[in-house]
Amino acid sequence: MKGLSLWQQFWYYLGHNGTYVLQQFNHHFAISVYGVLLAALVGIPLGILISRHHHLNGPIISIANIIQTIPSLAMVSMLMLVLGLGDQTVIVANFLYSLLPIIKNTAAGLDSVSPVSLDAGRGLGMTKWQLLVMVEMPLSVSVIMAGIRNALVVAIGITAIGSFVGAGGLGDIIIRGTNATNGGAIILAGALPTALMAIITDWVLGWVQHKLAPHTAKKAQ
């Protein structure tokens, strides 16, 4: 493709391989979402646990912090040795990296519920469980959303690395671009959708987060 400029090549590539790129895009997004959802299933309860029993704060957050500091390539490779090649490894990696933001934000959100609201709830005769479900969670949902948003953006980046262990996704296109002749256009075709996926996810979830914030807090945000 000597005669074409980088951008012309890019559009040519998309034109001829569109279905493939779309398949990889969907696969990439799905892997990222699965990991984060699983982390939410585990992390939100853990966050609730921590906000109730502050002595657990130390150990759980420390472990999650250490996981966070492990470079993602290292984590994915080590998981591969245990879980094998393929997308299950990346889903578990995404799960692990999503834990800290979700746990921390859940605990922080619950902790920041004003005592006034709690008192009002108790005054109405709510049980601890009702208090949690009807007062604390709704008031914290925006902060928890921030944690999920953070986690999903990071997960999209980790899934890109997953291509090195056979998980597929847009990383495959990026790798092909680095291996091909004048692969600049192919690198763009892989890197741009990945970047856009992350940026748009960040915007959309940021909007959701804002919408979920309780009315009084919205002005402060």
Partner 1 sequence: MIRHRNLKIGALLFSIFVLVLGVSGCSSSTETTYHQPKTLRIATQSSTESQIMGYMLKDLIEHDTNYKVKMVNNLGSSSVSHKALQNNDADIMATSYTGTDLTGTLGMPAQKDPKKATKTVDRLLKQRYDEIRYPSYGFADTYAFMVTQANAKKYNLTTVGDLKPVASQLTAGVDSSWMNRKGDGYNDFAKVYGFKFKRVYPMQIGLVYDAAEQGKMQVILGYSTDGRIRSYNLKILKDNLHFFPPYNCSLVVRGAIIRHDPHLKKVLHRLDGKISLSTMQELNYQADDELLEPATVAHRFLVKHHYFEGGDN
Partner 2 sequence: MMAFLQAHGTELIVKTWEQIYISAVSLALGIIVAVPLGIALTRCKKIARFVIGLASMLQTIPSLALLALMIPILGIGKTPAIVALFIYSLLPILRNTYAGMEDVDPILIDSAKGMGMTNWESIKMVELPLALPVIMAGIRLAAVYVIAWSTLASYIGAGGLGDFIFNGLDLYEPDLIIGGTIPVTILALVADWLLGIVERKLTPTTSRGGAANDQA
Decide: helix, strand or coil at residue 161. helix
Compute the chain's Rg from CA coordinates. Answer: 21
Residue 69 touches which of partner 1, partner 2, none (Cβ within 5-8 Å per kind): partner 2
Decide: helix, strand or coil at residue 81. helix
Nearer Cβ to partner 1 (16/218)? 16
169/118 Cα distance (integer angstroms): 45
Q: Using CB under 8 A, which of the segments 13-21, 47-55, 117-125, 180-188 binds partner 2? A: 180-188
Q: Between helices 6-52 and 87-111, what is the axis angle to 10°? A: 50
34/193 Cα distance (integer angstroms): 19
**59: CB partners within 8 A, 6+ apart:** none
Please give the residue ranges that form the binding site for partner 1 (CB under 8 A): 1, 9, 12-13, 16-17, 20-21, 34, 38, 41-42, 45-46, 48-49, 52, 83-88, 91-92, 95, 128-129, 163-164, 166, 168, 171-173, 175-176, 178-182, 185-186
Residues of the shown chain interacting with partner 2 in the complex, contacts defined by CB under 8 A: 6, 66, 69-75, 77-78, 80-81, 100-101, 104, 150, 153, 156-157, 160-161, 164-165, 171, 174, 177-178, 183-184, 187-188, 190-192, 194-195, 198-199, 202
